[in-house]
Amino acid sequence: MVDNENQSEKTFSNELYCKMIEINPGIAQMEMYEFCYALNNITPPGGWNSVLIESKEEIEKKVNDRKFYDSIRIKDKVDDKVTLDPQIVILTQQLIVGLNSNAFPIHWIQKHFYFDIRGFFFLHRTEYFDQNIIEHLGGKPYLSYEKKQTRFETVQDIGYKAFKEANMEIDQALIETVGKLIPQMGTPLLIAIAGPTAAGKTEIVERLTETFQKGKYKITAIELDNFLTDRDYREEKGIFTQGKEALHFQLLIKVLNDISKGLKISIPRYDFVEATSSHDLEGNLKPGGIPIEIEPADIIFIEGNFPFLLSEISSLIGLKIVYLTDDPIRLKRKWKRDIDYRKKYEPSYFRNRYFKDQFIMAGIAYRPQMLLSDMVIDTTGAAVWISPKILDLLNSK
């Protein structure tokens, strides 16, 4: 009986391995025994025959429902150790069994999900461009380039050098387009760059800054994340709050008004490792805290997850840009940046949080800002999208 069970498990694993290569070609770079090591972590106690799968329609309904993501526990623990949320495990198990039994066609899984090798789990695929957004941005891209991020299809994590090289053309197009707009829009000009975590916002602001500093402009940058309150407080209150409750908001309004008037400002400093702010909840500097001092400038970049959604400051923003990279690419960037380099998260907490956040944030932050944007830079799609208003400005003499 034991030999038959072992043979059955071996057959299941071998068949799954071949099919998973079609889901994620990077699987082919794993030896079979490496694949089995990873698979054992999500094998149900009763074996794969114990997994009951829902219909495709039921699964689609669940993964497109905000309530499902709200229920994901990012710090779920077993024996005092953070583990992958049971609902994420069950979804991955169902997709694996459905794939191997041919109940779920490969094309259906690829349409709705992507598989992360390093985390060894399935995540829902977020769609950012809907018809309303496409119409807002003129119906088609302003500029299009070769999709060079496809080279990352088989890798498990992505360093910034490789990411920067893949985005070279699209980034240069953004720089040149903004360069044409600045003289027509006038200075001082506040340029807001919004986008998901690990999309490359900070890096593109650095490149824009380097370029325009070589000209006649004085440049500065404000990272919206520096206005975050302590993470423990935010998670206690709920991190999906459209921004205001998660920030030193009144202080943010004050400093943006001040720097728009040509005044020097002092802003909070957020420790991304300890997840704490230099300021308390009342916006006062904590004992031992060190603020960031920022001089006035011609061009002020502000980047973060949701600057366009803050109505109190939106009137101060001269140019609204969404810098977008698809979820699977950003996840690979975060494995390298946040786990390998920053040592920022416990891996299971990291997987839970990423799975939970992307669907919710797309709905409450990124798609709404795309509808308000002047430009969208789609690095994965290698396209620059601009609103008709900005197109008219670019075409004017």
pLDDT value at residue 53: 96
Quick one: pLDDT at residue 351? 97
Is residue 371 very low, low, confident or very high in pLDDT (cuts 50, 70, 90)? Answer: very high
Within 8 A by CB and 6+ apart from 307, the residues are 192, 193, 194, 224, 313, 317, 320, 369
Helix/strand/coil percentages in the chain, nearest 5: 50, 15, 35
| Amino acid sitting at position 324 | L
Mean pLDDT for the stretch of residues 164-184: 96
Average pLDDT over residues 353-358: 96
Please tell me the predicted confidence (pLDDT) of residue 397.
60
The predicted-structure confidence for 249-275, as pLDDT tens digits, reads as follows 999 999 999 998 889 999 999 998 888
Question: What angle (nearest 5°) sits at the alpha carbon of residue 77, between those of residues 74 and 78?
Answer: 150
The answer on pLDDT for 196 being more than 50 is yes
User: What percentage of the chain reaches a pLDDT higher than 90?
Assistant: 79
Residue 59 confidence (pLDDT): 98
- Structural tokens at position 27: 């699987």
Highest-confidence segment of 116-130, 196-210, 297-311: 116-130
Q: In the prediction, which pLDDT does 303 show? A: 86
Mean pLDDT of the chain: 92
The residues pairing with 220 across neighbouring beta strands, listed in sequence order, are 300
pLDDT digit string, tens, across residues 288-314: 999 999 999 999 999 888 888 888 888
Q: Which residue has the higher pLDDT, 22 or 305?
A: 22
pLDDT of residue 40: 95
> Which CATH number, 3.40.50.300, 3.40.1170.60, 3.10.310.30, 3.30.360.10, labels domain 131-395?
3.40.50.300
Q: Which pLDDT tens digit goes with each residue over 375-390?
A: 999 999 999 999 999 9
Residue 306: its pLDDT value, please? 84
Which pTM value belongs to this model? 0.89
Q: Which spans in 50-130 are helix H?
A: 56-63, 66-70, 86-100, 106-112
Distance CA 221, CA 292 (A): 11
* Whether the Cβ atoms of residue 358 and residue 295 lie closer than 8 Å to each other: no
* pLDDT for res 7: 62
Residue 69's pLDDT band (cuts 50, 70, 90): very high
pLDDT attached to residue 220: 92
Please tell me the predicted confidence (pLDDT) of residue 6: 61
Query: Which pLDDT does position 43 carry in this prediction?
Result: 96
Q: Per-residue b/e over 147-160, b at no fewer than 16 CB within 10 Å?
A: ebbeebeebbbbee
Looking at residue 2, its pLDDT comes to 43
Q: Which residue has the tokens 């080279």?
A: 151
Beta bridge partners of 285: 279
| pLDDT digit string, tens, across residues 212-248 | 988 789 999 898 889 999 988 887 876 544 468 888 9
The domain spans of the chain are 2-124, 131-395
> Closest Cα partner for 208 from 329, 310, 298?
298
Amino acid 238: pLDDT:
66
